[in-house]
Amino acid sequence: MLRTPAANMVKKSCRIDAMPGVQWLEAGRCGGYTMRREEFSVVSNQAPMPRRYEATIERAGWSLAAGSALGGLIVLGLVLRGGQYDPLALAAAWALGSVLMGLGITAVAGPLWLVMHVAGWRRPRHAAIVGAIASLAIFVGAQTYGFGLLDMPPTDNRALLYRWLSATATSGVIAVAAALIGLVMWRIAYRRQQ
């Protein structure tokens, strides 16, 4: 640690002459200074360090498994809502929904989250945003013939506005569920760095 007499030190908004009793300053991390007085120290001119979150590959794997299982539960709920009550069909719907959700998370949300992780955007709200935006884009694109880029039947041209409104509304509900799944996955994968 570098010690500098207080009389020689001026740093941005840290005015030494306004601090009677300061004997010396220590240069701290990130350009801050620790002032030493008679019996206590005060950190000034430094905002608190932002919280950092770290993940391990093991927790990321458990997170993917949990997200897939939760996605399977959503599919199971939709199948139940459709009137299917056969136990074998329900088990198959959950298993297939879990596998497809796992593939979707890995193929679409995984690369988006990797970019967010490398950029340092690792908070819960970022996980929810990635989940919501990814699912919204997938489901709106699927219901609007690839955002209008793919061929559609001529009869659908008359109801094009309705199709877009319906796709946005139903995908919005799914996006809320995907945001909640993203939050659960974030909670499993990340821990606060010590």
115 class by beta-carbon count within 10 Å (0-12 exposed, 13-18 middle, 19+ buried): exposed
- On whether both 34 and 57 belong to a single domain, the answer is no
pTM here? 0.70
Look-up: residue for tokens 């004997």? 23
For residues 38 and 63, state if they share a domain: no
Token pair in block for residue 17: 């002459």
- The whole-number pLDDT of residue 38 equals 45
Q: What residues does 14 pair with on adjacent strands? A: 11
Same domain membership, residue 71 and residue 167? yes
Among residues 138, 107, 132, the alpha carbon closest in space to that of 186 is found at 132
Cα–Cα distance, 21 to 7 (Å, whole number): 11
Verify that 106 and 27 share a domain, yes or no: no
Residues 28 and 75 in one domain: no
20's tokens: 């009677």
How many domains does the chain contain in total? Answer: 2
**In this model, does residue 171 exceed pLDDT 80?**
yes
- Provide the domain limits for residue 84: 53-192
Lowest mean pLDDT among 38-42, 68-72, 121-125, 145-149: 38-42
Amino acid identity, position 188: I
Mean of the per-residue pLDDT values of the chain = 82
**Is residue 31 helix, strand or coil?**
helix
Judge contact between 70 and 181, C-beta under 8 A.
Answer: yes
Beta bridge mates, 24: 5, 36
Phi, psi of 58 (to 5 degrees): -65, -45
What is residue 47's predicted lDDT score, i.e. its pLDDT? 54
Integer Cα distance of 52 and 61 in angstroms: 20
**In the structure encoding, which two tokens stand for residue 141, read together?**
């694109």
Same domain, 102 and 170: yes
pLDDT band at 16; cut points 50, 70, 90: very low
Retrieve residue 77's tokens.
């709920």
Q: Is the domain of 108 the same as that of 188?
A: yes
